Structure 1
Amino acid sequence: MDTLHKWVQLRAIPHVKAGRALRFDLVALNRYIDEHTIGTID
């Protein structure tokens, strides 16, 4: 199983299931990434 499908199965990332297809809202994914990004130590 690839990482994206694993995250969907774990409900770790926002997604919508349309029949058998997965759909991702780009704005929601970008918001999720921004909220879960850990900054670097300079």
Structure 2
Amino acid sequence: MIQGTLDQSDQSFLDEEQIKDKYALLCVSYATSDLIVKTDCEEELW
């Protein structure tokens, strides 16, 4: 995520550090503002 805020309370895959680094699983997140997102970042996590 580049800009905006999400409620990610339903997700359990990402750790706190990844969330702090603005990674998000959009399939289990809810936008709480307008968002600008970068997609296809899965390889950056490993």
TM-score (normalizing by structure 1):
0.26
Question: By percentage of residues, which structure has more strand?
Answer: 1
Question: By percentage of residues, which structure has more helix?
Answer: 1
Say which structure, 1 or 2, has more relative contact order (CA 8 Å, 6+ apart): 2
Name the larger-Rg structure. Answer: 1
TM-score (normalizing by structure 2):
0.25
